[in-house]
Structure 1
C-alpha cells in the first residue's frame, strides 16, 4: 500500500478571479480538482521519495481530460523515445518503486483562463533525481470547446503568417531583455539567443509565450515569459481567436 494523502475539491464555478468577464452564452466549464501525494512505501524521514500530482477533471469533457493526462505524462519523460506510462497512477507506482532518497516528482494542471469558448490550461512539472537542482517544465493547452480539440500554433495563425508571428515574438524578447536590463549584455545575448517555443497561450489580455529553463536564459531566470498584444496580431492571428470585448 502507498502511504498517501488525498484531497479532492469540486467547483462548478470559474476557478479564476471574479472580475474576469464572460460574455453571454460563454459560461465556464465546470471543473473538478483532484490532488494527491504519495511517499515511497516503508520509507521514513524527510528525504523519502514522493510523487505529488495536482490535476483536473472536466465532467463530460473526456477528450480534454485525456489530453491533460497525456501532456502531464509527456512531462515525466526525460528519455526521448521512451514509452509513456499508461496512466498517472502507473507513473506514480513505477517512480516510487525505483526512486532513491531525495527524489521527488511534482505534476500540476491548472485552469489559467476560460474565455471566448476557450479553456487555457497551464501544465507544470518538477523532477528531482539528484544533482544540484531539479528540472522544472511548463506547457499550455489551448482547448477550443467548439471544435473539441487542442489548438496548435498553426491552427491559430492565418496561412503564411508563421514568420510574421515569430518576428513579433522576437520583438517581445527584446522588450523582455530591456525590462531585465540584459539588452546591453553581449555575453548574455551571445549565449542565450532568441528561439521559438511550443508554449504559446491565448490569454484574454495578450498572447503569452513561456520558455523552458536553459532555453533563452540561465536556470536562475526560471521560465521566461514573453507577451504579444493582440493589437499587433491583426492580419496574423485568425479573427475568431481575438478575444471578444464587452
Structure 2
C-alpha cells in the first residue's frame, strides 16, 4: 500500500540542542541552564515547552505551556497557593493566542486571551465567571528541567489512487531533555518518557507512528470492498492515532509528566486516556503513592476523594455518587501526581465512570492529609 508521507520533525538544530551532554556534573539538572532558556522565543520556535510564572489579577500562578503540534498549545496551570493542576489547551498565530482551561460548565468558558512574544512573555486577560483579570507571565526555569518538543505525523490511504479513500493517520509528540541536563538525569527521564531504552526522540516518535500504521494496513487489507462503497461504513475506516507526552509539574526535585493516548479504530467513538509518571529526580526514582503516604492511606482518602468529586461535579451531599459513577466508592489508584501543595489521583474513562464522564482527576491538598504524608 502506498503511503502518503507527512512526516514532520523539528529542525536538526533543535535535535542538537536536545542531546544530553556527556559526563556528570556537580550541579543538579534543573540548575544547569543555558542563556537561551530564560528568553525562549515563543513565536518563532515551532514546538516548545516553557514554564511561566507571574500573576493573574493579584494571585500568583505557574503555567506549564507547550506547543506540541502546529498552532496548538497545551499544558497546565495552577494557582501557587493551591497547586492544583488545571488542564489548558488553545491555538493562535503570530503571537496572538487563546488558551482555554478545563471546565465542566460549557456555558461558562474560561480562557487566557493574549500575546506571546519573542522574550518568553505571555500577557493579556483571563476571562471567566462573568469577569476578567489581567495576567502577566514570564519564562522562569529556575530549578526546573528544560525540555524541547518533537512532533511527527504520517498517514496511509486505504485505497491508493482513490481521492475519496479513507485514511489512517497517526501523530505523535514528545518532550525531551535539553543538552544542559546532566547525562544521568537525562537518561532516567528519557526512559520514563519512552518506556524503553530508546535514546533518540525521532526514533521514539517513528516507532510510535509505525506501530499504528502497521496495524491499520494489516486490518485494512481484509476490508470488504462493498463496505467501502457505502460512505457511512467507509467513514469508520478513517482511523486516527494520537500520542503526546507533556509536563504537568516541574520543580526540582519533582517532575510529573503526562502520557496521553487517543485511538479511533472504528465504532461509535475513540478510546483515550492519560497516565502520569511522578519522578524524584534527586533519587532518579519513579514514585508510587506508597512511597509518599503512610499505610492505611487508601481507606483514609476515600471520603476525601468523594468530597473532591462532589465539589468538581457539583453533586449535593444528599445525592448518591453511585448515580454518576460505575463504582460505589472512589479509592486511590497508582495513576497519581504530586505538586508542591497536594496530590491528584486520575481515572481513565470507564475506570470509575462512564465514557461520557471522561477522565476524572481529583485533587487533595496536603493540608487535608498532612498526617498521612511520610
Shared fold per TM-score greater than 0.5: yes
Alignment RMSD: 3.2
Mean alpha-carbon deviation: is it higher for 218-227 or for 155-164? 155-164
Change (3 A) 1:16 1:194: farther
Change (3 A) 1:183 1:122: farther
Q: Is the 8 A contact 1:154 1:162 kept in 2?
A: no
Quick one: which of 264, 269, 281 aligns to 1:145? 281
The whole-number CA distance in structure 2 between the counterparts of 1:49 and 1:209 is 33
Q: Is the 8 A contact 1:113 1:119 kept in 2?
A: yes
Identify the residue that residue 58 of structure 2 maps to in structure 1.
none
Shift of 1:159: 4.2
Q: Is the 8 A contact 1:183 1:189 kept in 2?
A: no
Change (3 A) 1:148 1:191: closer
The answer to whether 1:195 aligns with 2:330 is yes
Q: Is the 8 A contact 1:124 1:136 kept in 2?
A: yes
Shift of 1:188: 1.3
Shift of 1:32: 1.3
Change (3 A) 1:26 1:18: closer
| Structure with higher strand content | 2
Q: Is the 8 A contact 1:111 1:120 kept in 2?
A: yes
Mean alpha-carbon deviation: is it higher for 217-226 or for 143-152? 217-226
Q: What is the TM-score of this pair, normalised by structure 2? A: 0.52
Question: Aligned with 1:51: secondary structure?
Answer: strand
The answer to whether 1:112 aligns with 2:231 is no
Change (3 A) 1:236 1:200: same
Identify the residue that residue 192 of structure 2 maps to in structure 1.
67
Q: Which of the pair has more CA radius of gyration? A: 2
Q: Is the 8 A contact 1:68 1:109 kept in 2?
A: yes
Shift of 1:189: 4.9
Q: What is the TM-score of this pair, normalised by structure 1? A: 0.76
How many positions carry a matched residue from both structures?
221
Identify the residue that residue 80 of structure 1 maps to in structure 2.
none
Change (3 A) 1:186 1:162: closer
Mean alpha-carbon deviation: is it higher for 25-34 or for 54-63? 25-34
Identify the residue that residue 79 of structure 1 maps to in structure 2.
none
Identify the residue that residue 78 of structure 1 maps to in structure 2.
none
The answer to whether 1:49 aligns with 2:168 is yes
Q: Deviations over 1:45-96 (max 9, x none)?
A: 584101111111114311211111129xxxxxxxxxxxxxx95533422321
Identify the residue that residue 37 of structure 2 maps to in structure 1.
12
The whole-number CA distance in structure 2 between the counterparts of 1:7 and 1:56 is 13
The whole-number CA distance in structure 1 between the counterparts of 2:361 and 2:325 is 19
Shift of 1:217: 2.3
The answer to whether 1:184 aligns with 2:319 is yes
Shift of 1:18: 2.3
Shift of 1:229: 1.1
Mean alpha-carbon deviation: is it higher for 10-19 or for 46-55? 10-19
Identify the residue that residue 243 of structure 1 maps to in structure 2.
none
Structure 1 unaligned runs (5+)?
72-85, 239-246
Change (3 A) 1:211 1:190: closer
The whole-number CA distance in structure 2 between the counterparts of 1:236 and 1:4 is 50
The whole-number CA distance in structure 2 between the counterparts of 1:187 and 1:163 is 18
